[in-house]
Amino acid sequence: MTHTIATQINSLLAALILLSAFALLAQRKIMGLVHIFAWQGLLLALSTAVIGYASGEHHLYISSLLTLGMKVILLPYILYKLVHKLKIHRDIEAVVNVPTTMLLGIILVVFSYHLTAPIRELSNLMTRSTLAVALATIMLGMLMMVTRRHAVTQILGFLAMENGLFFAATSATYGMPMVVELGVALDLLIAAFIFGIFFFHINTTFESLDVEQMAKLKETD
């Protein structure tokens, strides 16, 4: 009984994660993006905890807490500070044609559904159906990195991709070994510091975080 309810709640959370991935694609304001990213992290942490409860794999509680600490509190806080320090918190990015990006996103979701269909048939875990959502989140994060031009937005796309990967690991195999998870968390933290430093450098060199500016670095002959 609890098992089916847990599956349903997990499906709902997966659907909301997918929605948040689309919201990231559509949002124009940088601060709005950071908020949606934090919400996505929270949904991910909840989903991990629910899976941990239903499957009896208690190490998932630890990774849920880790997600909560890293992706809901620490990373958004670092980004928040960065955005304020760089004085871009009021920036509104000119996004190229949101409806087209959305349609591309839908195609990517259908694609990942077809890609994961065989795995779904083979698996007997309660989370087998959310694997497609996880893959779709990864692809949508990638789409965001490709279509956006702002450095901070691209990093957020990268982090959303990482969220998708984490979700995929939980759905496919009930999570990675603890050592790997701790390693990834640490890497993410280091990455946050590194891209923070990069933002400052890009900003001082080009006086903007628009990566199009980097075309100037090309040698002309």
Partner 1 sequence: MSLHPFVIELLQFALLLGLAPAFAGWVKVLKCRVQGRTAPGILQPYRDIRRLFGKDIVLAENASWLFRFTPYLTFGVTAIAAGIIPLISVDLPLSATADVIALVMLFGIVRFFTALAGMDIGTAFGGMGSSREMTIASLAEPAMLMAIFTVSLASNSTSLTQMVSVMAHSEFVIRPSLAFALAAFILIALAETGRIPVDNPATHLELTMIHEAMILEYSGRHLALIEWAGMMKLTLFFALGIAAFCPWGIATGGDTGLLLLAFVALSAKLVVGACVMVLIETGLAKLRIFRLPEFLGSAFLLATLGMIAFFILE
Footprint on this chain of partner 1 (rule: CB under 8 A): 8-9, 11-12, 14-16, 18-19, 22, 26, 98-99, 102, 105-106, 109-110, 113, 129-130, 132-133
Residue among 4 and 205 whose Cβ is closer to partner 1 = 4
Helices (H), the chain: 2-26, 30-55, 59-67, 75-85, 98-122, 131-147, 151-173, 178-206
Q: Based on CB atoms, which residue is closest to partner 1, 99 or 118?
A: 99
Residue bearing tokens 């991935």 = 21
Nearer residue to partner 1 within complex by CB, 9 or 182: 9
Nearest approach, Cβ of residue 51 and partner 1 (Å): 14
Give me the phi and psi of 219, to 5 degrees please. Answer: -75, 130
Tell me the closest approach of the beta carbon of residue 79 to partner 1, in angstroms.
25
Phi, psi (5° rounding) for residue 17? Answer: -60, -40
Burial of 103 (0-12, 13-18, 19+ CB in 10 A): exposed
Cβ proximity to partner 1: between 79 and 135 the closer is: 135
Torsion of CA 96, 101, 103, 107, to 10 degrees: 150
CB of 53 to partner 1, least distance (A): 16
CB of 91 to partner 1, least distance (A): 19
